[in-house]
Amino acid sequence: MTEARQRTATPAASLNGDWLTIERLRNLLNVRKPSEGEAASSLYLRPNETAQSSEWRERLARLGKAPEESGCGLVCLRGRDQVLVIAPPFPVTESSQHDDWNEAPMWSLLDAERTVGVVLVRLGRYSVAVYRGADLATSKTDSRYVKGKHHAGGTSQLRYTRVREGQMRRLYVKVCETIRAQFEPVAAELDHVILGGEKFTLNGFLKVCPRLGEYKGITLKRRLNIRDPKRDTLDDLGSTLHESRVWALDW
């Protein structure tokens, strides 16, 4: 297959917020990288920063707010008439603009060895883990019974609600204790903390666990969409932590 046909065959044009592993991202960029002499430029934005170039601002505006939802900034690579917009899994540390296709700062970001704490909570089950790079270092997974929602009314409903709220509080206390046990021994080494699980349960937990407040400065905005926190899930999660979200658009 010729180089021109290889470029045509790439799926980049259909990327619309797809999650790519480091390996898939590397393969994509190898194919999309422009040849010498072809139009190219790059843009790196720290979280909450905007492009100084009006051209870049106009292109990014087409995607709305979705690329910024991770809170980790953006990496934008233009090759010829296409742009790849990449929301990396970890924060961009320095904003910059380049008149060429410059992947180097992104790979420095993605290839860095990090220690990451993970907290996954859903109704009745939780996992707390520490990863070194993509490898699971330590973890604790447990379950605690919590009643489902009750749809009857009256006194029965109130009694049921009180019981359920008590069960949820005990779950939250147990998760908080596990965070202390898992994170305290490596607190000085933690680069980031990432949360995930079921949204309603996680939001309730965040309101009552002071332990997580100690890690507020390193807790990332992104949330992991993990339906069932269990030991088998943790084995595959190391790769997920390092996935980037990618969009493609015309220049």
Each residue's pLDDT tens digit, 101-125:
999 999 999 999 999 999 999 888 8
Q: How confident is the model at residue 163 (pLDDT cuts 50, 70, 90)?
A: low
Q: What is the span of the domain harbouring residue 209? A: 115-241
pTM, full prediction: 0.84
Q: How confident is the model at residue 11 (pLDDT cuts 50, 70, 90)?
A: very low
For the stretch 90-104, pLDDT in tens is 999 999 999 999 999
248 inside domain: no
Do 100 and 123 sit in the same domain of this protein? no
The CATH number linked to 73 is 3.30.960
Do 32 and 14 sit in the same domain of this protein? yes
Task: Give yes or no for residue 161 having a pLDDT over 70.
Answer: no
65 inside domain: yes
Q: How confident is the model at residue 184 (pLDDT cuts 50, 70, 90)?
A: very high
Q: How confident is the model at residue 226 (pLDDT cuts 50, 70, 90)?
A: confident
- The Cα–Cα gap between 249 and 251 comes to 6
Do 103 and 141 sit in the same domain of this protein? no
Do 163 and 147 sit in the same domain of this protein? yes
Do 108 and 132 sit in the same domain of this protein? no
Q: What is the mean pLDDT of residues 146-158?
A: 55
Q: Which of 81-85, 125-129, 163-167 has the lowest mean pLDDT?
A: 163-167
Average pLDDT, the chain: 87
247 inside domain: no
> Which amino acid would we find at residue 251?
W
Q: How confident is the model at residue 210 (pLDDT cuts 50, 70, 90)?
A: confident
Kindly state the helix (H) or strand (E) to which residue 79 belongs, with its residue range: strand 74-79
Do 49 and 122 sit in the same domain of this protein? no
- Number of structural domains (the chain) is 2
Do 16 and 102 sit in the same domain of this protein? yes
For the stretch 26-56, pLDDT in tens is 999 999 999 999 999 999 999 999 999 999 9
Do 97 and 121 sit in the same domain of this protein? no
251 inside domain: no
The CATH number linked to 200 is 3.30.420.60
Tokens describing residue 190: 């933690």
